Amino acid sequence: MAGMTAKARVAALSLALGAVTVGASACSSGDALGRGRSACNWVDTSIATLHAIPANATAAQRQHQTLLAQSQLLRALPDAAAATSADGGYNALQTNIQEANRVPESYLVPALIAMCKVINSSTPYLGS
């Protein structure tokens, strides 16, 4: 940087920092996508468990399967939280998974399916 004016040095430094920021952002988005997809694997497992409850299941069997599905869904939470930390666009996924502690999972299923469909697609952006 010898021989450069102060203005040129600041411009070069800004350009370098911008490149580092864009590169870090790309890594972060990739990590977010990976963690979002990992969360969606648990979401899919949980939904499959819910759908596997036989129509003629006893109340005890139904309760057992429902609790198993809830447990599987909540196992998605750390990955969803990590995805949200890397990219705020995954906040809706994390929030819906957190709601499994408050409302029956069956109420969350349509939203979870829609979000995971996007996350697992070739254009995985949920948007805000």
pLDDT in tens, 15-68: 333 333 333 333 456 799 999 999 999 999 999 999 999 999 999 999 999 999
Cα separation, 67 vs 49, in Å, equals: 10
pLDDT above 60 for 84: yes
Number of domains comprising the chain: 1
Provide mean pLDDT across the span 70-84: 97
Compare 112 and 8 and report the one with higher pLDDT.
Answer: 112
Cite the DSSP H helix spans in the chain: 6-51, 59-74, 77-86, 91-98, 105-119
For residue 93 the two structure tokens come to 């996924």
Q: Is residue 113 part of a domain?
A: yes
Question: So what's the pLDDT on residue 5?
Answer: 65
Q: Does the pTM of the predicted model rise above 0.85?
A: no
Structural domain for 89, as ranges:
6-119
| pLDDT: which is higher, 17 or 72 | 72
Give the phi and the psi of residue 99 in degrees, each rounded to 5: -65, -15
- Is residue 4 classed as helix, strand or coil in its secondary structure? coil
Q: In this structure, is residue 95 part of a structural domain?
A: yes
- 82, 46 in Cβ contact below 8 A? no
**128 in a structural domain:** no
